[in-house]
Amino acid sequence: MILLRCKFKKIDDICYISHLETMKTIERALRRANINLSFTQGFNPHPKMAFAQALSLGLESYGEYMDVEIEDDLDEEVFINKLNEQMPMGLVFIKAKKFKEKTKSLMSIVSHSRYIIEIKNINTKDIKSKINKYMKQEEIMIMKKTKKGKLKEIDIKKRIHSIDIVEVKDDLVVLNTILQCSSEGNLKPSIFVSNMAQFIGLNEDYKMDVNRIDLYKNEDGKIMPILD
């Protein structure tokens, strides 16, 4: 058994299919590519596949990750080429890395997501200083619903790893942000932007476009790529 950890992108119109349908699409492509998959045991065996983190419907991503176990010791490039020949437009596998020994699951190692966020239809006067002031707060408190439906106040400051202002133009600001997305805490871009917009006084009718660029792991306090 060989575990292949794969990076792929999900762009254009296919970003509007659900996470479940994405999984099914990739599984069908693996079968059509005649990849000798490993299967679970039991009454209803299924391919041994696992994904890092579900992508919100409508978001494009250039850094999604999947683990798949196969029976044959395929070369990574051969695997990528065979699979991409069967993939629909917009789903493209970029790289793969082989693991012959047991390794930590994707879900357990993913700690952060990087996003490019475009905020449109806003007054960009002094926007840089306003965002810097927002980030200089000692705490950034929001109210969040728990799984039991109760409201709880949480500090999202520690969930914002970094904000870089990429571009300011007319009524548009573009941010490159890294946000926490682990089991210890998750911050959605929409919640982050909504909170920041309220703090810095953005127009209520602002518009936002988000692309996920990559996912990262935390190794000894350093944010590192999932695949080297």
The answer to whether 47 touches 36, Cβ cutoff 8 Å, is no
- Stated as kind and residue range, the H or E segment containing 89 is none
pLDDT at 30: 96
pLDDT at 1: 83
Beta-bridge partner residues of 214: 114
pLDDT at 146: 75
Distances (CA, A) of 57 to 54, 91, 138, 212: 9, 14, 33, 12
pLDDT at 102: 83
Q: Which domains does the chain have, with CATH numbers?
A: 2-103 (3.30.70.580), 109-225 (3.30.2350.10)
The terminus-to-terminus CA distance of the chain in angstroms comes to 22
pLDDT at 188: 93
- Degrees, nearest 5: CA angle 86-9-77: 55
pLDDT at 171: 93
Going residue by residue through the chain, which has 228 residues, state the pLDDT in tens, using 9 for 90 and above. 899 999 999 999 999 999 999 999 999 999 999 999 999 988 888 899 999 989 999 999 999 999 999 999 999 999 999 999 999 999 999 999 998 778 899 999 999 999 999 999 999 999 999 999 999 999 999 988 777 778 889 999 999 999 999 999 999 999 999 999 998 889 999 999 999 999 999 888 899 999 999 999 998 889 999 997
pLDDT at 220: 86
pLDDT at 108: 92
pLDDT at 180: 96
How far apart CA 96 and CA 73 sit, in angstroms, is 13
What's the number of CA atoms in the CB half-sphere (13 Å) around residue 109?
A: 21
pLDDT at 147: 76
Both structure tokens of 144? 């969040």
pLDDT at 203: 81
pLDDT at 148: 78
Total residues belonging to the chain: 228
Helix axes 127-135, 189-200, angle to 10 degrees: 110
